[in-house]
Amino acid sequence: MYDMAVIKLASTTIGNTVGWFGMMSSSTFNSNLNAIGYPGDKPNYPKQYYYYCPSVSDSWASDSVTRNTCDFMPGQSGSGNYYKNSANERYIRGVTSYHTCTCLNSGCSRCGAPYANYFQQLTSTRFTDAKSWARIP
């Protein structure tokens, strides 16, 4: 249902080498979004790609899913979506869920831009769930 999982690593110092992400929950989402994934439509698949999507808003969303026009494609489900603040700190905000060919305006063709993509937000309930799964107090 969430497309979310938690992996607890044996080493608690791996972040000193590869970096850290925080987690951020909110009842609303209105900020820039960054994503990392392995989209199936790109050359050299599987190759990791990074995306920046300006001004993603949950104005179309339920309380837990945000629809957006970021360039997500099949193969990216489960990829983390994160917010980067002005101090260059990164916070996980959600997980890529699915891509549709639903047009968001009347001027596009069936799978033409802009199309809809959805990510599961890290709501306060899901934030608590993730901490529980990882056994973090």
Q: Per-residue pLDDT tens for 12-32?
A: 788 889 888 888 876 666 677
**Every domain of the chain and the residues it spans:** 19-133
Mean pLDDT for 85-98 is: 85
Question: What fold does the segment set 19-133 form as a domain?
Answer: Thrombin, subunit H (2.40.10)
Q: What is the mean pLDDT of the chain?
A: 75
**Residues contacting 16, CB < 8 A, separation 6+:** none
Model confidence at 1, pLDDT cuts 50, 70, 90, reads very low
pLDDT for 25: 76
Q: What tokens appear for 29 in the block? A: 């989402």
Mean pLDDT for 63-79 is: 74
pLDDT for 9: 81
Rg (CA), the chain: 16
